[in-house]
Amino acid sequence: MTARTLTRPATPPAFGALEYPSSDGEPMAETDQHIHLLFESTTRLKHRYAADPNVYVSGNLLVYYQEGDTRLCLAPDCFVAFGVEKGDRETFKTWVEQAYPAVVFEFTSKSTRDRDTGVKFAIYQDLWKVDEYFLFDPFEEYLKPSLIGYRRDPKGDLLPIPPDADGGVLSTRLNLTVLRDGLSLAFRDAATGELVLNAYEDQARLATQRNAQAQQAARDAEQAARDAGQRANDEAEARRDAEARLAEALAELARLRMSP
């Protein structure tokens, strides 16, 4: 696959052209927690790549991978495609985008186990040829461990990625460590260790940081005022002491002059 910047036509399909539905009639996710996972992961990865115009992140979007056959599609819970321009889409057609998703996440459960580890795994490995595939079982219904990552080897097979001591799984394609965080997932920058936040979380972090800085500046100013006041008091006390000693010296000089 070669990366390219695309300019998609804004015109609707020609009359009589094959239409690719934007819904497959399946529920968005198994549970509220799966929906929460989908939203959090997608928005955090979107924010991470917000400055790169040629990285596309989405979730639960139908990906069609064979032109002319509307049956051949999947809707990964979350995916990242490189060399694909940003922009809202109704569907993702691989022959239009000239790319496949490179990294795919599925938030799995006992009821989706067979598809997530069977037919989907085979499609992601053999047809989409993804670089990495992550499975997360938030309720620990069958996966052990509950977070497993797979990475493509030189032969084209998706092989398990060894977890680190904390159970984190490194995505070399995203340069992130993927971690279980309660019933959710967390992403840490593999180089800095910083958590990946979504836009709202990042705004809240910055607001908290600015508030803390403002409070510290106020405390510093208050301390500086106290220090200045103390210096003024010390200087006034020193002047009084000097004036008292001067008065004593003048009095002693006057006394000595008056002595016979």
What token pair was written down for 110?
């006992």
Backbone angles phi, psi at 239, to 5 degrees: -65, -45
Selecting from 3.90.1570.10, 3.40.50.410, 2.10.109.10, 3.10.580.10, what CATH number does the domain 32-197 have?
A: 3.90.1570.10
pLDDT of residue 250: 80
Q: Mind listing the pLDDT tens digit of every residue in the chain (260 residues)?
A: 433 334 444 445 554 578 888 876 675 567 899 999 999 999 999 999 999 999 999 999 999 999 999 999 999 999 999 999 999 999 999 999 999 999 999 999 999 999 999 999 999 999 999 999 999 999 999 999 999 999 999 999 999 999 999 999 999 999 999 999 999 999 999 999 999 997 777 666 666 666 667 677 667 777 777 887 888 788 888 888 888 887 888 887 778 777 76
Q: How far is CA 43 from CA 32, 94, 185, 255, in A?
A: 16, 22, 12, 89
Q: Mention every residue, 6+ apart, whose C-beta is less than 8 A from residue 168.
A: 177, 178, 179, 188
C-alpha to C-alpha distance for 124 and 106, rounded to whole angstroms = 11
C-alpha to C-alpha distance for 71 and 233, rounded to whole angstroms = 85
pLDDT of residue 169: 98
Tell me which long-range contacts 174-181 makes (C-beta under 8 A, separation of at least 24).
174/45, 174/48, 174/80, 174/103, 174/132, 176/48, 178/134, 178/147, 178/149, 179/147, 180/136, 180/145, 180/146, 180/147
pLDDT of residue 77: 96
pLDDT of residue 160: 98
pLDDT of residue 167: 94
pLDDT of residue 220: 74
C-alpha to C-alpha distance for 177 and 189, rounded to whole angstroms = 6
Q: Mention every residue, 6+ apart, whose C-beta is less than 8 A from residue 189.
A: 175, 176, 177, 195, 196
